[in-house]
Amino acid sequence: MKAYEEYHKIITELMNAIVRDEKDSLAKAADIIADTIQDDKLIYVFGTGGHSYICAEEMFYRAGGLVPVCPILDPGVSIAFGAARSTWIERLPGYSQRVLKSYGVGKGDTLIVANAYGINSSTIDAAIEGKRLGAKVIAITSPTFSKQVPSNHPARHPSCSNLFELEEVDVVIDNHMPVGDAIVELQGLDGVKVGPSSTMVNAFTINSLVLSAMETLVERGMTPPVWVSSNMPGGDEANAKYLKEYGPRIKHL
């Protein structure tokens, strides 16, 4: 079997596990998001470091995606402004609190904290601060990974907390990322695995949640506000009303 075939096989198994095991969590989180949209509040998404940053981009201004999504695109935790720097910042206690305040997260909003590892300071602080500010908090993370990280690891929050165990988190969705992230073994690499899984399972989990929330809204008799591809005929016209309505409210629109 070729390496990419093995990669496909394992990624498919992880996605199947999400579908099989996360039905209840997805339903609970979908209800929260549907409530938020019906109350005319916003869904904030914070991928709290490194490649988890992609999670906020994945939900934002996406063809077929929900409109009332405000991504927290903070340069501190983006690798675009320095890969090693993003690691230092995501380990900095107190940083996330200030970021959330600058975005205006508040009562009635939903905050999705997405971090496959679920242990660093920016992640733990974001969940705690989001709840303090009055938002509902949804976590997307891998409890399997978090449990394996020693309490004295330098990546950990000073409290040694795990995202999936925080009382401030209303719903935890397990993305089923395995320990180590990489999933394929190649001969000649002395046991070092390749082929990252975290972005794939995070994106699948996020879009599964979005679809579940849309279904919930339809079941409640509400038409979900959905972006249309601007590269399709009529796309610009369909999106114009949302840009006008949400442009003043969503920072990056």
Tokens of 58: 């994945």
Say how far apart CA 211 and CA 133 lie, in whole Å: 27
The per-residue pLDDT for 28 is: 98
pLDDT at 211: 98
Q: How confident is the model at residue 64, as a pLDDT?
A: 97
Decide if pLDDT at 179 tops 90.
Answer: yes
CB 142 within 8 A of CB 117: yes
What domains appear along the chain, each with residue ranges and CATH number? 3-246 (3.40.50.10490)
pLDDT of residue 144: 95
Which stretch of 36-45, 182-191, 200-209, 232-241 has the lowest confidence by average pLDDT?
182-191
Q: Would you state the pLDDT for residue 188?
A: 82
Decide if pLDDT at 191 tops 90: no
Three-class secondary structure of residue 231 per DSSP: coil
Three-state secondary-structure class, residue 210:
helix
pLDDT at 80: 94
Q: What is the arithmetic mean of pLDDT over 89-113?
A: 96
Report how far residue 33's alpha carbon sits from residue 36's, in angstroms, rounded to the nearest whole number. 5
Dist. CA 184–CA 174, nearest whole Å: 21
Residue 250, pLDDT score: 97
Burial degree of 240 (CB within 10 A; 0-12, 13-18, 19+): exposed
List the beta bridge partners of residue 110. 43, 136
Is residue 154 within 8 A of residue 90, CB to CB? The reply is no
